[in-house]
Structure 1
Amino acid sequence: MIYELNHVGGPVEDLDASLAFYDEIGAEVVDRLFMTSSRVHRVHIQLATGLVELLHKEVADPEATYGLNHVGFMTDDLDGDYARLISLGYGELSSPRVAGSGQGRLAFLSDPNGVRVELLQRAEEFRVPPITSGPVSQLSFIALAAPDLDAAIEFYGTHLGMQRVESGDEVVFRLGTDAVKLSDSLPPSTTPINHLGLATTTPLADRQDPDGNRMVFTV
């Protein structure tokens, strides 16, 4: 069973610059690991209530693209949930395997609109109690472009088991602490994840992190 929206993540070009950016808006590092097999630094930061996974290759790849590019969900039955979703016709990206970190197993598939979805089964829990020292009080949602909105609603609501929550005219699904917002009319984005919606205690201007990920702030 898929039971938690665990994180949003993706590759970063300059890890120090990314960490400095998120530190300015109150994020804290809650896990840091170097994966020797792939020569990748993995850092989980927590921004108020939500986890963001930053992946940085020790040796830069000239063909690489950067920015948040997947959403990760926890499951207690990786093989079963992956097989079920693939049998329903969702795109297979990477079948279940041991994670490069050695912490549990993972797999990747594609939602109906091409968003990368990671399924994770592991014992480790990186999330800490909500961080209240910074200006961000909540990671309100991860905004995903959904040109085929009905298909996205079926995927996240019916097949991932997320709960639709009332949010005016917006389509928002929650599973655990965090949520995704689906829309067929988001402004263009340079990154696969359209933007992060962040609630703040004081007004902040919207901005982009060093890799072009958009942060949209609301009081």
Structure 2
Amino acid sequence: MIYELNHVGGPVRDLEASLAFYGGLGAEVVDRLFMAGPRVNRVHIQLVTGLVELLHREEPDPEATYGLNHIGFMTDDLDGDYARLTALGYAEISSPRVAGSGQGRLAFLSDPNGVRVELLQRSEQFRVAPITTGPARAFAHIAIAAPDRDAAIDFYGTHLGMERVADDTFRLGADALKLVPAPATPIAHLALATADPGPAAGDPDGNQVQFVPA
């Protein structure tokens, strides 16, 4: 069973610049690991309740693209959930395998609008109690591309078991996804609820962070 919206993540060009940007929003590092095989630093930061996974290669790849590129869900039955979703016709990206970190197993598939979805089965828990020392009062949502809104509703609401808490918003665990009709990228933006919302900001890799009323 899929039981938690766990994180949003992707590769970053400059890890220290990304950490400085999100640290200015109140994020704290809750997990840091070096994966020796691919020579990648994996860092989880937490914004209030939301986990963001930053992946940084030691050796730059000139062909690489940077920015948030997937959303991750926790499951207690990786093989069963992956088989169920791919049998329904959702596109396979990578079948269940041991994670590069050595922490549990993972698989990737595509939602009906091309958003990369990671399924994770592991015992490690990186999320800590809500972090409220920064300006954000809540991790409002992760906005994802959903030009085919009905298909996205079926995928997230019916097949992933997320609770529909608004017309375009689904929750599973502490955090929420918001469906956006036609953004420029699959991960449209992150939204933080603050007491004094200001203009949106772009992180060092061009990911958008929006601020909404708390």
Q: TM-score range by the shorter chain?
A: over 0.9
Query: 1:183 maps to which residue?
Result: 180
Contact 2:180 2:188 in 1 (8 A): no
| Partner of residue 210 from structure 1, selected from 201, 204, 208 | 204
The residue number in structure 2 matching 1:141 is 141
In 1, Cα distance between the equivalents of 2:128 and 2:196? 23
The one-character-per-residue Cα deviations of 1:165-184 (angstroms, maximum 9, x if unpaired) are 03xxx410000001100122
CA distance in 1, matches of 2:112, 2:11: 22
Correspondences of 1:40-51 after superposition (within 5 Å): 40-51=40-51
User: Which residue matches 1:36?
Assistant: 36
Contact 1:67 1:192 in 2 (8 A): no
Alpha-carbon distance between aligned partners in 2 of 1:194 and 1:17, rounded to the nearest angstrom: 21
Please give the alpha-carbon distance, in whole angstroms, between the structure 2 residues aligned to 1:124 and 1:172: 27
The alpha-carbon deviation at position 196 of structure 1 amounts to: 0.6
Single out whichever of 196-205 and 39-48 deviates more from structure 2.
196-205
- Looking at structure 2, the residues matched to 88 and 142 of structure 1 have their Cα atoms a distance apart, in angstroms, of 25
CA distance in 2, matches of 1:99, 1:201: 39
- In the other structure, the counterpart of 2:195 is 201
**Counterpart of 1:216 in structure 2: which amino acid?**
Q
SS at match of 1:194: strand
What is the root-mean-square deviation in Å for CA atoms of aligned residues? 0.9
Output the CA distance in 1 between the equivalents of 2:3 and 2:178. 18
- Aligned pair count reads 213
Distance in 2 (CA, whole Å) between partners of 1:90 and 1:126 is 28
- For 1:173 and 1:203, how far apart are their aligned partners in 2? 23
What is the SS of the residue equivalent to 1:64? coil
Mapping 1:25-174, distance limit 5 Å: 25-166=25-166, 170-174=167-171
The 1-side partners of 2:24 and 2:108 are apart by 31
Consecutive unaligned residues in structure 1, runs of 5 or more: none
1:202 CA displacement: 2.6
State the shift of 1:200 in Å. 1.1
Identity, % of aligned positions: 74
Q: Counterparts of 2:210 and 2:196 in 1: how far apart (Å)?
A: 13
Superposed CA offset, 1:133-185 (max 9, x none): 0001111111011111100000000000000003xxx410000001100122x
* Post-superposition offset of 1:218: 1.1
Instruction: Quote how far apart the aligned CAs of 1:204 are.
Output: 2.9
Q: CA–CA distance in 2 between the matches of 1:105 and 1:9? A: 17
Cα separation, 2, equivalents of 1:183 and 1:40: 31
* 3-state secondary structure, aligned to 1:96: strand
Give 4+ residue runs of structure 1 displaced > 4 Å after superposition: none
